[in-house]
């Protein structure tokens, strides 16, 4: 058994430990009540966007497998990706095609070094869809505060060797519309988790370089570095999330689990419908985004018609409408503004 975060793991027998994946742990780090309801009530985050994202990952995984197993060249990889996107599930095919339209720079990174010389397929250490020693699913054992242990896992999109044996490069693809920055990567629970797993798998590695590719935009973040010296802060963040799960996963009701609601979280939370502490109206959007948008469109249309009715009334009456603390018309007081400073010639008393 490990005695520190990054030592070479010595796993117990299969199925001896509870297995916790990254997305499960991250939900506990974001909001324990959300995590509880997702696990206990089997709330899902499915739908077309998730299916499209999974399809993109599967397609790119097949391309990397073709590079590793067959030494496929860059142009052929690009054609493989385009063809696979065209053959994706009919309902999500247009979005999948749009998501990989600018994938070429990412594939070039897989095939070539920054200087332009070809990268050896053996540089690919692990990837999503890989098998045997190149399997992208990484795992290590992790000790909790009560001295119990869990096995934490996560599947990396791509892990590659670098010219230094003390450093590996981790690349991840995000096929959605969000624009990722280096700051997002640095603070991300996901990539701190992956860095820990990579350093555990490769005990000689002292640094993990992480870059996010956005194939929909044809762009990537600058690399962010997680070093072994960061092990304490990374480990404690993960430990806290796992301890929260240990303490609350068997609670009788979600009301007994801590909740950390914030408007921007509740609007995207798949469990907001079931959570009495979720912010409204954000949680209404989470429960049915289409209905929420249609209600908004109807509200805007109604407001426009109301504006027209009020305008006609003012025009016909010749005066503004006044009802206590609310009024409508042309008489809104102008905001007082500071007089701008300027150079001028003062007027002399004799000139007046």
Q: In the chain, pLDDT over 90 holds for what percent of residues? A: 61
Closest CA to 127 of 215, 204, 64: 64
Report whether pLDDT(7) > 70: no
Residue 29 has pLDDT above 90, yes or no: yes
Residue 350 counted as domain residue: no
Q: How far is CA 238 from CA 124, 142, 165, 193, 276, in A?
A: 27, 9, 26, 7, 27
- Average pLDDT score, the chain: 88
Residues 217 and 165 in one domain: yes
272-298 pLDDT tens trace: 777 777 777 766 776 677 777 887 888
Count CB neighbours of 292 within 10 A: 16
Total domains in the chain come to: 3
Length of the chain: 352
State pTM to two decimals: 0.78
- Is 346 a member of any domain? no
Quick: pLDDT tens for 228-252. 999 899 999 999 999 999 999 999 8
At 320-350, the pLDDT tens digits run 998 988 999 988 888 778 888 888 778 776 6
C-alpha angle 8-12-14 in degrees, rounded to nearest 5:
120
Same-domain pairing of 177 and 214: yes
Let me know whether 139 and 272 are in one domain. no
**221 within 8 A of 183, measured Cβ to Cβ:** no
Q: Are residues 60 and 203 in the same domain?
A: yes
CA dihedral 41, 155, 112, 204 (to 10 degrees): 140
Question: Do 75 and 130 reside in the same domain of the chain?
Answer: yes
My answer on whether 281 and 171 are in the same domain is no
Burial of 108 (0-12, 13-18, 19+ CB in 10 A): middle
- Domain that includes residue 303, residue range: 289-328
The closest alpha carbon to 45, from 234, 240, 224, 176, belongs to 176
Q: Cα(219)–Cα(211) distance, rounded to whole angstroms?
A: 10
Q: Which class for 118: exposed (0-12), middle (13-18), buried (19 or more C-beta within 10 A)?
A: exposed
Domain boundary among 234, 265, 287: 287
Distance CA 170, CA 154 (A): 13
List, for residues 203-216, the tens digit of each pLDDT value: 999 999 999 999 99
What one-character DSSP code corresponds to residue 345?
P
């Amino acid at each position: 058994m490990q005695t520190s975060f990054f030592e070479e793991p010595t796993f117990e027998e299969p199925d001896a430990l509870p297995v916790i994946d990254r997305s499960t742990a991250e939900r506990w780090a974001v909001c324990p009540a959300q995590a509880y309801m997702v696990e206990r009530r089997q709330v899902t985050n499915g739908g077309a966007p998730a299916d499209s994202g999974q399809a993109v990952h599967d397609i790119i995984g097949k391309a990397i497998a073709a590079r590793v197993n067959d030494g496929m060249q860059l142009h052929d990889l690009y054609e493989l990706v385009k063809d696979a996107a065209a053959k994706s599930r009919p309902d999500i095919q247009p979005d999948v095609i749009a998501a990989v339209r600018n994938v070429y720079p990412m594939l070039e990174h897989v095939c070539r070094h920054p200087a332009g010389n070809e990268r050896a397929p053996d540089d690919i250490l692990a990837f999503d869809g890989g098998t045997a020693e190149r399997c992208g699913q990484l795992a290590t054992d992790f000790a909790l505060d009560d001295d119990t242990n869990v096995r934490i896992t996560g599947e990396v999109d791509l892990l590659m060797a670098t010219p230094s044996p003390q450093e590996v490069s981790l690349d991840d693809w995000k096929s959605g519309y969000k624009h990722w920055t280096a700051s997002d990567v640095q603070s991300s629970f996901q990539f701190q988790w992956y860095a820990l797993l990579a350093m555990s798998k490769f005990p000689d590695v002292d640094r993990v370089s992480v870059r996010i590719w956005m194939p929909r935009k044809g762009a990537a973040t600058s690399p962010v570095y997680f070093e072994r010296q960061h092990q304490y802060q990374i480990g404690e963040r993960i430990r806290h999330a796992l301890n929260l799960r240990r303490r609350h996963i068997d609670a009788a009701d979600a009301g007994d689990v801590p909740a950390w609601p914030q408007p921007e979280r509740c609007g995207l939370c798949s469990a907001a419908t079931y959570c009495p502490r979720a912010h409204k109206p954000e949680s209404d959007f989470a429960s049915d985004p289409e209905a929420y948008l249609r209600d908004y469109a109807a509200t805007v249309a109604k407001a426009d018609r109301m504006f027209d009715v009020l305008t006609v009334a003012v025009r016909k009456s010749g005066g503004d409408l006044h009802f206590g603390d609310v009024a409508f018309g042309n008489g809104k007081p102008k905001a007082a503004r500071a007089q701008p400073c300027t150079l001028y010639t003062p007027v002399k008393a004799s000139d007046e």
